[in-house]
Amino acid sequence: MDIDSGKIGWKVHEFESLGSTNDEANRLAVGGAAEGEVVIADCQTAGRGRLDRQWESPAGKNIYLSIILRPETPPTTTSQLTLVAAVAVAETLAKFSKERPAVKWPNDVLIDGKKVCGILTEMSAKRDKTDFVILGIGINVNTDLDDFSAEIKETATSLALIKGSTSDRAEIQTELFQKLEHWYRTYLTQGFLPIYERYTALSCLKGQRVEVVFENERKQGIAQGIDDTGALLIKTDDDQIERIIAGDVII
C-alpha cells in the first residue's frame, strides 16, 4: 500500500483526451476507486459546467482534473466542498500571479474580475449517506485570447493573459494538490468555520450589488457574504436578508 494513499493526488489517472474528467472519475468511483485518486486530461471534448453548460477545454494549455473524495459528511453539506476547492485554487493561483485571485460564490475563481477557474462538484449518495464526491476543477493556465470563444472572451481570462508569460501546468498541479489536501483535512477535522473565514477574506462579492439567478427566479440586492453553512446572504431593497443556496451571481 502506498504510504500516501488517500492523500489528494496519491494516484493520478492521466488521459490525452476525455469527454469530461468528472464522468471518468465517476466511472472509477463507482468501480471502487479510493479517496484522493485524480483523473486528469489534456483536453476535454465535452467539458461541463453546472446545468450542463459547456466548459471550454482546448488541448495542451490548461488544467482539467477531477478528484474522488469519500467524506463521511452528510450529502446536505456537499456544496461546502466547492468552497473548500475555491479557497485552495485561489491560494494556488496567488503563488503564480502577482494579481490577487478572488473567489466568487459559489464556484468561480476570478483574477482581475474575470473567470480563471470553474469548479463542478457532483455527488453520489444513498439516503443520508455520501457515497462519493467528484470535485471537478478547470483552470485556464496558458489559454490565449484567441482560444476563447466569442461568448466568453470578455468574461474569461487565463494565468498567461494576466502574467504575460506561460506557466508550467505540473507545478501548478502539485501546489493545488497540497492546498486541497490542507483545506480538505482542515474541513474534515475542524468543520466549515475555518473555510468560512478564509473564503470570506478571499471573496469579491461583499458589499457589491448583485443579481442572483436560479431557475426562473431573479433576486437583487447587496451581497453580505456567506453564512456559516456556505449559503450566500443578500440584503434586498426592502431590507430583507435572503439566504441563497444555489444560483448564478451577476455583479
Q: What is the DSSP letter of 203?
A: B
Which one of residues 8, 9, 20, 223 is an interface residue with ligand BT5 (CB under 6 A)?
20
Helix (H, G, I), strand (E, B) or coil at 221: strand
Residue window 55-84: x/- pattern of binding to ligand BT5, with contact defined by CB under 6 A:
xx-------xxx------------------
Nearer to ligand BT5, 54 or 174 (CB): 54
Q: Is the dihedral of CA 111, 224, 84, 217 positive or negative?
A: negative
Alpha-carbon distance of 18 to 44, in angstroms, equals 5
Q: Which three three-digit cell numbers place residue 162?
A: 494576466
136 binds ligand BT5 (CB under 6 A): yes
Which one of residues 7, 11, 50, 219 is an interface residue with ligand BT5 (CB under 6 A)?
50
118 binds ligand BT5 (CB under 6 A): yes
Contact residues for 239 (Cβ-Cβ < 8 A; gap 6+): none
CA proximity to 207, closest of 224, 219, 220: 224
Which one of residues 5, 17, 53, 240 is an interface residue with ligand BT5 (CB under 6 A)?
53
Least distance to ligand BT5, CB of residue 51, Å:
6
Least distance to ligand BT5, CB of residue 97, Å:
16
203 binds ligand BT5 (CB under 6 A): no
Annotate 120-140 with DSSP letters as a single string.
Answer: EEEEEEETTEEEEEEEEEEE-
Burial of 142 (0-12, 13-18, 19+ CB in 10 A): buried
Nearer to ligand BT5, 96 or 191 (CB): 96
Alpha-carbon distance of 50 to 30, in angstroms, equals 21
Alpha-carbon distance of 177 to 11, in angstroms, equals 11
Q: Is the dihedral of CA 36, 34, 75, 187 positive or negative?
A: negative
221 binds ligand BT5 (CB under 6 A): no
173 binds ligand BT5 (CB under 6 A): no
Least distance to ligand BT5, CB of residue 209, Å:
20
129 binds ligand BT5 (CB under 6 A): no
Residues 144-163 that bind ligand BT5 (CB under 6 A): 152, 156
Least distance to ligand BT5, CB of residue 156, Å:
3
Other Cβ atoms closer than 10 A to 80: 23
Amino acid at 2: D
Which one of residues 9, 13, 21, 78 is an interface residue with ligand BT5 (CB under 6 A)?
21
Q: Which three three-digit cell numbers place residue 226?
A: 456567506
Which one of residues 7, 11, 49, 182 is an interface residue with ligand BT5 (CB under 6 A)?
49
44 binds ligand BT5 (CB under 6 A): yes
Q: Which parts of this chain interact with ligand BT5 (CB under 6 A)?
A: 20-22, 44, 47-51, 53-56, 64-66, 107, 115, 118-120, 136-138, 140, 152, 156
